Structure 1
Amino acid sequence: MPWQVDFFQNNRGDYPVKDFIEKLDQNLYMKVFRYIDLISNYGPHLKPPFVKKIYDQIWELRITGKTQVRVLYIYFNNAFYLLHAFVKKTQKTPSSEIKVAIDRANKIL
């Protein structure tokens, strides 16, 4: 049975992660959704190198390749919430990106 995966929705009714993914080129777009399917299929059993815990309850989905994309998410009430996505350009995940995810997680938790 697949795990529930939801996109974070802000106060204006927008879905920032979905909007980000839709702006990617077609190959990367499809790759990101294949990785999201991994969360849906394996849930909390998905392990590195696909995911990594980066802060408290915040995890990152690690899409690797020429362009590295990160999707930050939480697992809460038997569902995965995709909070924030960005193109990774540095070795360490920037604290500003983590803060966006934390702020959005606090609206769900």
Structure 2
Amino acid sequence: MRAVIFYRSSLGRPIIKEWLRSFEKPDRAVLGVDLLTLQIGFPLGLPLCRPLRGGLWEVRSSLAGNREARMIFFHDAKAKALVIVHGFVKKSQKTPKSDLELALTRMKEFSP
């Protein structure tokens, strides 16, 4: 099983954990199960996980109320970990470019 590392800002703020805590308990449970499934079985394919670009992947979680949450991550082979760098609730069919760019920037600044 791979470890999961949650991105922190340069000031140490746990951005991803704060985002996860913003969900109601039933939604957090779905996100937690999806992360655990990913930890145990990475690399996985659709419908749970798919590659994006530049080494980034997304976890696709279906939440109550017909909502879709996305967690963008990369696999750090050295640390043998999955690093979650961004999360958002999807509002359109395509992953917004701004979310992808933010995830790429965070991936580049990451150091375990």
Q: Shorter-chain TM-score: what band?
A: over 0.9
In the alignment, the residues of structure 2 paired with residue 48 and residue 15 of structure 1 have an alpha-carbon distance, to the nearest angstrom, of 28
Specify the alignment match of 1:79 in structure 2.
Answer: 81
- Rounded to whole Å, the distance in 2 between the matches of 1:38 and 1:18 is 18
* TM-superposition CA deviations, 1:23-77 (whole Å, max 9, x none): 0111111100111101111122x21111111112010000024110000000012
Secondary structure in 2 aligned to 1:14?
A: coil
CA-based RMSD of the aligned residues comes to: 1.2
**Which residue is equivalent to 1:29?**
28
Residue 88 of structure 1 aligns with which residue? 90
Contact kept, 8 Å, 1:5 with 1:39, in 2: the verdict is: no
The alpha-carbon deviation at position 11 of structure 1 amounts to: 1.1
CA contact (8 A) 2:54 2:104 kept: no
TM-score calculated relative to the size of structure 2: 0.90
| Structure 1 runs (4+) greater than 2 angstroms displaced | none
- Runs of 5+ in structure 2 lacking a partner? none
- 2: CA distance, partners of 1:38 / 1:14: 26
Secondary structure in structure 2 of the residue aligned to 1:100: helix
Q: Which whole-Å CA distance do the structure 2 matches of 1:15 and 1:36 have between them?
A: 17
Between Structure 1 and Structure 2, how many residues are aligned? 107
TM-score by length of 1: 0.92
